[in-house]
Structure 1
Amino acid sequence: MPPTFTTTLIPPPGKSTPLTLPTTTTTTTTATTTPLTDALTIRSLVFITEQHCTPESEIDNDDPRSWQWVIYHHPHPQSPSSTESKTPIGVIRLVPPPHPPHEILTHPERAPELPEWDTAHEPYVKLTRVAVVKEWRGYGLARRLVEEALEWARGHVGEIERAGEGVLGTGERKEWKGLVLVHAQTQVEGMYTRMGFETDEGLGRWDEEGIEHVGMWRRVGLV
């Protein structure tokens, strides 16, 4: 029997929810574990433990305003009486507009002279923190997470636009027309290409936590 997976949507936690990285080295769940904790656990295992990113950079200012999805493996889907817990094995984050100017990434020395938010260009959502724990790679779970996040976004345009309006605090809602950006590690650029994303050479290539990235765009049709 093939493995059984389900996904859980985590709404933006807001600024009042404290966000801290779990110290556990496993993805075991308990009766009191929340999906948000599961999401942060996966991110910690993949980005900090495995890829050696810094803990200080993992939780950022986008986390309080972003949606996340966690994918779970169910060891005994046909046995409700089983005492085994479902296991969180993958995560993705969707960040609504607005976003800082791209030059902050490619030329961080220019940050003091750049505006806080890029409002000159078409609004877009950004898919970030896409991670699957090592032992569950090869099942197409990253693709499933991307598709699920995009399918949700297609049907929740108003929520995405309101999120952007709240950040800017101008009372002006910017229309989101389905534009999506990923900052892809170059090792998975091919996966995103197969999913319809196109590399924007104009954005260049840059280093994040010692890992080379490229910017890739896709436009989704809206409901």
Structure 2
Amino acid sequence: MAEAFVDTEIVMLPPPGDIVAPHGFPAKTRPEGAPQVFLDAMDIRIEVFCHEQKCAVEPELDEDDPRSWHWVAYQHGRPVSVIRIVPPPHEPHPNGFHDPSEEPYVKLGRVATVASARGKGFSRKLTEAAFRYHAAHKDEIGAGWNGLVLTHAQVQVEKMYAKLGFTTDDRLGRWDEVGIEHLGMWKRLD
């Protein structure tokens, strides 16, 4: 597996703020003046989610992007993988489940790797780097966050998330997002 990471760099972009959506939403998916790391992240997301999975392009950049951390893996200088970490607060769960005592959590999402780099562990490396960073910088999340992470995983990658230590939450059920079945999975960072 180590060979896959030769000449690989992982870059984190802290929450970029309104620069990625200066006129509100809907917003351009490649906003002028946005940091290059953000533009690279959007290029990967558009390639994977919009071109390959046939999701609409317009909502790809959403209200969570300005307030989220974006992590991009570059191999030989080329962006190949991305994840996003969204801090609390969050909208209700997609199936309507609501627990008033639910503790604050971050949401891992927009996990995507270009086709030519899949199966080489880039998503895992990004996720591990993000989790290490956030576990060491809990104060940046705020709102009483104590290491709880949620992902809305596509059902076909449930096993990948299980290998990362996530557990499926049957209370959240399964739901359709843009024609793709999803489920909720949790993990607690040490």
**CA–CA distance in structure 1, aligned partners of residues 59 and 111 of structure 2:** 15
Q: Percent identity?
A: 50
**Equivalent residue for 1:20, pick from 28, 33, 46:** 28
**CA–CA distance in structure 1, aligned partners of residues 152 and 20 of structure 2:** 26
Residues matched between the structures, number: 179
**CA–CA distance in structure 2, aligned partners of residues 8 and 16 of structure 1:** 19
* Secondary structure of 1:38's aligned partner: helix
Call closer, same or farther: CA 1:68–1:15 in 2, change over 3 Å: same
**CA–CA distance in structure 2, aligned partners of residues 8 and 143 of structure 1:** 14
Q: Confirm or deny that 1:200 pairs with 2:189.
A: no
Q: List runs of 5+ in structure 1 lacking aligned partners.
A: 23-32, 75-85, 108-113, 162-173
**CA–CA distance in structure 2, aligned partners of residues 17 and 218 of structure 1:** 29
Q: Confirm or deny that 1:132 pairs with 2:113.
A: yes
Aligned to 2:7: 4
Tell me whether 41-50 or 12-21 shows the greater mean CA deviation.
12-21
Aligned to 1:55: 57
- Indicate the structure (1 or 2) with the bigger Cα radius of gyration: 1
Q: List runs of 5+ in structure 2 lacking aligned partners.
A: 22-26
**Equivalent residue for 1:93, pick from 71, 84, 87:** 84
**CA–CA distance in structure 2, aligned partners of residues 61 and 131 of structure 1:** 19
Q: Confirm or deny that 1:156 pairs with 2:137.
A: yes
Q: TM-score, normalised by structure 2?
A: 0.88
Task: Describe how 1:39-78 pairs up with structure 2 within 5 A.
Answer: 39-74=41-76
Task: Describe how 1:112-131 pairs up with structure 2 within 5 A.
Answer: 120-131=101-112
Cα RMSD for the two superposed structures: 2.1
Q: TM-score, normalised by structure 1?
A: 0.75
* Secondary structure of 2:104's aligned partner: coil
* Secondary structure of 1:100's aligned partner: coil
Moved over 4 A (4+): none
